[in-house]
Structure 1
């Protein structure tokens, strides 16, 4: 794979109208012994040699995961993010 292939892939996934990367929050990070994928409505945790955990977020749980994953947001950015999440998911996490 060449660097241009990666650039083209990123461009496609960030601009194609039905790409899920345009319509939802997604954060992925390795934390200690696990890989965590956080979406606006769910969390997935993968650990080597163990079954994958996937579940819906409970109301109010999103900010705790953002903290655990060390997502650096100002208070204003967090407020705007939470407003956008409420638009995506009226059950608001």
Structure 2
């Protein structure tokens, strides 16, 4: 597989990941501040700046622990976490 194709796939997956996380928060009516509080309550605190960067396409891809912490704070199921991991 050409290297450019792999990069395109990663970029597409990253965009899908960010969209899914943002949509999950929006559907639940959660603000970034709510996500910060929920992540701390879940034992995996994530700061507002980290959340903002994770959801913003102008920043590098978030790490898996950051994605997982945000997803858990949003109340995502283990199945959703697995799907996110596969992106």
Q: Same fold (TM over 0.5)?
A: no
Q: Which has the larger radius of gyration?
A: 1
Structure whose residues are more often helix by fraction:
2
Structure whose residues are more often strand by fraction:
1
TM-score by length of 1: 0.33
The answer to which structure, 1 or 2, has the higher relative contact order (CA under 8 A, 6+ apart) is 2
